[in-house]
Structure 1
Amino acid sequence: MDLAILARAPVPGECKTRLIPELGAEFAARLQADLTRQTISAALEAAIGRVTLWTAGDREHAFFRQLAKDFPDLKWTSQSQGDLGERMHQVFVSNAGSTLLLGSDCPVITPQLLQDSAKALKESDAVFLPAEDGGYALVGLHQPCRALFQGISWGGDRVMQQTREQLQNQGLTWCEPQQVWDVDLPDDARRFLNLKNITRI
């Protein structure tokens, strides 16, 4: 089973933009970098299979170059064009096998939770980790299913609800091992910092 991580280059002003008005572009970029590093560490430690980082933005960014040095077992490729749904769908098309796909902004995804998700996928057609904000932080599939990524209001609070409707329409079985939370808004960032017991990154 493969693990795929979507990650954007931590360029100030181009990532975690909903944090910028209150916390600033530099802070948002540092947060993005920290979350990405934490996600990669969890994925590799889970030891489920190959881990690939699907990058968006400047692939030659210094942060990505440093990751390549720090995580030599990590594989690399670029995200496709299109909206979030299309980019996620193309990951499954490219992998052509059982895959867990996750973002890089969920600080409570642990190696154990990834292992639990992989186990759940073996017993169903799909696995999801729904997020408190109405989205999801992880999706796992055995094979591509474009319909799951179409007609979805990405960034809204009905993403998981709409996805469940698509799952039902396609006659697919799925599991939701745990609800999680991710970092999109300033309150989420403060929650993350409290989790790590630090005042700043």
Structure 2
Amino acid sequence: MTAEFKLDIQGNTPPKPIVAQFAKAPEVGKVKTRMRAVLSPQQCVDLHKRLVAKVFTTVAVADNYIHQLWVSSDHSFFHSLMDENKHTCRSSLHYQPSGDLGVRLTAALKQGEAQGRVAVVIGSDCITLTSSYIESALALLKQQPELNTVIGPAFDGGFVLLAIKQWHEALFEGVEWGTERVLDQLIHNIELLGFKYRSLEPLHDIDRPEDLSLAESI
């Protein structure tokens, strides 16, 4: 099934796209582990919370898409985050299935496609990711019907955003998650599937000690 981002034959407006923000539960020893060389386990948790909150309060405010918060497990932090920002942010809570990142991303992408919506997945590590950045991806898909995918690359070899019209089971096949090969492997799969794609300007994830200076503003 393909989620077409255009007016249907009756001239009806297509359903709003879904933007699924992925976030791990803030548990000691399970988040920001690459920062352990310079931060204590609790400091890693605190940084993770700040990043999740920053992305949430930045992107869950737009009217042009439906924001969803996809979490690894139930945690009071997520409920507090949504409650504290209920007057300015619009979102709903969803739970990631078990499995690798590809399995978890697929759940959100397939949900969007099943509802006839363009689906966008983003992480919670990029504080320069804005609603305008997301909307630029959606605009490309709308303006260029031949496009199936828009990627927001990360400087570390991953991606901060993935927007698609049509999901395919081979999209994440063989992707080595957590490595600097992720983006190249994803693009390889997209090209094998014959999907047309465009890339946005790359952004920085905050994932390693050398990235900490970027987090000083939050």
Give percent identity, aligned residues only.
28
Q: Which residue pairs with 2:47 in the alignment?
A: 31
Contact 2:148 2:195 in 1 (8 A): yes
1:80 counterpart = 2:97: yes
Aligned residues: 193
Counterparts of residues 40-189 of structure 1 (less than 5 Å) = 40-57=56-73, 59=74, 61-72=75-86, 73-96=90-113, 97-122=117-142, 123=144, 124-189=147-212
TM-score by length of 2: 0.84
Cα deviation code 1:2-49 (max 9, x no counterpart): 110101111221111111232111111111111111111222233321
Matched AA of 1:19? M
Structure with greater helix percent: 1
Contact 2:37 2:209 in 1 (8 A): no
Contact 2:51 2:126 in 1 (8 A): yes
Contact 1:13 1:20 in 2 (8 A): no
Question: Post-superposition shift, 1:114?
Answer: 1.3
Contact 2:109 2:120 in 1 (8 A): no
Q: Which residue pairs with 2:10 in the alignment?
A: none
Q: Secondary structure at the match of 1:23?
A: coil
Q: Secondary structure at the match of 2:19?
A: strand
Cα deviation code 1:110-134 (max 9, x no counterpart): 1211111111222220011111111
- Measured on the aligned residues, the alpha-carbon RMSD in Å equals 1.4
Q: Which residue pairs with 1:190 in the alignment?
A: 213
* Bigger CA radius of gyration: 2
State the alpha-carbon separation in 1 of the partners of residues 191 and 175 from structure 2: 14
Larger mean CA deviation between 34-43 and 78-87 belongs to 34-43
Question: Post-superposition shift, 1:184?
Answer: 1.0
Question: Post-superposition shift, 1:87?
Answer: 0.8
Q: Secondary structure at the match of 2:170?
A: helix
Question: Post-superposition shift, 1:67?
Answer: 1.3
Question: Post-superposition shift, 1:183?
Answer: 1.1
Contact 1:46 1:111 in 2 (8 A): yes
Q: Secondary structure at the match of 2:152?
A: strand
Question: Post-superposition shift, 1:104?
Answer: 0.6
Larger mean CA deviation between 173-182 and 17-26 belongs to 17-26
* Structure 1 consecutive aligned stretches of length 4 or more whose deviation exceeds 6 Å: none
Q: Secondary structure at the match of 1:41?
A: helix
State the alpha-carbon separation in 2 of the partners of residues 115 and 4 from structure 1: 14
